[in-house]
């Protein structure tokens, strides 16, 4: 039976969720540390009721939790983009090609780090998005990621290499 209302991003979100379960950010953190929980929880079945949790009193904090650092946002963004590129169709429709290009331009306009967003605009202007196929899009994204990394820290990432930034 086909799924009604199927989300076209479901495979991407499932991939990110599966990947996030295997990432250990803070090995010295306690088991109850929020950084050890999966980033996303996806399921096709309704959630089961959570077991009752003992009440824990926390001191009120005057300031909000610290926002993500520029590096954390960057790593999360690149992970999402590389996941999208890996899932991109070998023969995308005209709309999928337009969407890939528009996504990059939206990121260059809305990215939370203004300096990074402005640099990404320059990178896009010099290196227009290549979304003719999955291979084109993935290779283009690796190239652009290397351009950004060279500017930041001088690191270069080859296609298929483990994510560092």
List pLDDT tens digits, range 117-141.
999 999 999 999 999 999 999 999 9
List pLDDT tens digits, range 88-123.
999 999 999 999 999 999 999 999 999 999 999 999
| CB contact at 8 A, 82 and 104 | no
39 conformational bin, left if phi > 0, alpha if psi -120 to 50, beta if neither: alpha
| CB contact at 8 A, 83 and 19 | yes
Angle at alpha carbon of residue 76, lines to 163 and 50, rounded to 5°: 115
The CATH number of 70-152 is 1.20.120.310
Closest to 86 measured CA to CA, from 163, 164, 165, 3? 163
Q: Parse the chain into domains and list their residue ranges.
A: 8-42, 70-152
């Amino acid at each position: 039976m086909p799924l009604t209302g199927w989300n076209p991003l479901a495979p991407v979100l499932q991939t990110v969720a599966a990947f996030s379960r295997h990432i250990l950010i803070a090995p010295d953190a306690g088991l109850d540390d929020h950084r050890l929980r999966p980033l996303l929880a996806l399921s096709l079945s309704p959630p089961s009721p959570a077991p009752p949790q003992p009440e824990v009193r926390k001191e009120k904090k005057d300031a909000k939790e610290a926002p993500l650092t520029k590096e954390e946002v960057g790593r999360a963004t690149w992970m999402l983009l590389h996941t999208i590129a890996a899932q991109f169709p070998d023969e995308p429709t005209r709309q999928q090609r337009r969407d890939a290009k528009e996504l990059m331009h939206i990121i260059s306009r809305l990215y939370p780090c203004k300096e990074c967003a402005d640099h990404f605009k320059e990178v896009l202007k010099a290196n227009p998005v290549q979304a003719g196929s999955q291979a084109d899009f993935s290779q283009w994204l690796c190239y652009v990621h290397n351009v950004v990394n060279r500017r930041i820290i001088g690191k270069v990432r080859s296609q298929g290499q483990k994510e560092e930034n």
